[in-house]
Amino acid sequence: MTTPATTAAPPASADAHDAVVLTRVSKLYGDVAAVDDLTLTVRRGEFLSLLGPSGCGKTTTLRMIAGFEHPDTGDILVDGRSVLGVPPHRRQVNTVFQAYALFPHMSVAENVAYGLEQKRTPKAEIRGQVAEALDMVQMRGYANRRPTQLSGGQQQRVALARALVNRPSVLLLDEPLGALDRQLREEMQVELKLLQSRLGISFVFVTHDQGEALSMSDRIAIMREGRVEQLGDADAIYSTPVSAYVAGFVGQQNFLDGRVADAGAVETDLGPVRSTRGAPVRPGERVRVAVRPELVRLSSSEPDGTSENRVRGTVIGVAHQGETRQFLVDAGRGHTLLVRVPTPAAPRLGVGDPAWCRWETDDVHLFPHDGEHSAPPPTSVPDGHAG
Ligand X SMILES: Nc1ncnc2c1ncn2[C@@H]1O[C@H](COP(=O)(O)OP(=O)(O)OP(=O)(O)O)[C@@H](O)[C@H]1O
Positions in the binding site for Mg ion (CB under 5 A): 59
Among the listed residues 3, 6, 54, 307, the single contact to ligand X using CB under 6 A = 54
58 touching ligand X, by CB under 6 A: yes
Query: CA-CA distance, 58 to 189, in Å (whole number)?
Result: 19
Residues 6+ apart with CB under 8 A from 4: 167, 200
Residues 89/132/17/240 CA torsion (nearest 10 deg): 100
Q: Give the residue with the Cβ less far from Mg ion, 56 or 244.
A: 56
Q: Report the nearest approach of ligand X to the CB of residue 90 (Å).
A: 23
Residue 289 DSSP SS3: strand
Q: Give the residue with the Cβ less far from Mg ion, 59 or 154.
A: 59
71 touching ligand X, by CB under 6 A: no
32 touching ligand X, by CB under 6 A: yes
Query: CA-CA distance, 118 to 97, in Å (whole number)?
Result: 19
Residues 6+ apart with CB under 8 A from 232: 219, 220, 240
Q: Report the nearest approach of ligand X to the CB of residue 174 (Å).
A: 7
72 touching ligand X, by CB under 6 A: no
Nearest to 21 by CA among 49, 7, 36, 40: 40
Q: Give the residue with the Cβ less far from ligand X, 55 or 128.
A: 55
Q: Give the residue with the Cβ less far from ligand X, 95 or 129.
A: 95
Q: Answer for the pair 165, 133: CB distance below 8 angstroms, yes or no.
A: yes
Q: Give the residue with the Cβ less far from ligand X, 76 or 298.
A: 76
26 touching ligand X, by CB under 6 A: no
59 touching ligand X, by CB under 6 A: yes
204 touching ligand X, by CB under 6 A: no
Stretch that binds ligand X, among 58-66, 192-200, 242-250, 268-276 (CB under 6 A): 58-66
Q: Report the nearest approach of ligand X to the CB of residue 249 (Å).
A: 13
Binding mask 149-188 for ligand X (x = CB under 6 A): ----------------------------------------
Phi then psi for 84, rounded to 5 degrees?
-60, 125
Nearest to 224 by CA among 37, 62, 78, 31: 37
Q: Answer for the pair 202, 49: CB distance below 8 angstroms, yes or no.
A: no
Q: Answer for the pair 247, 233: CB distance below 8 angstroms, yes or no.
A: no
Q: Which residues bind ligand X (CB under 6 A)?
A: 29, 32, 34, 52, 54-60, 208
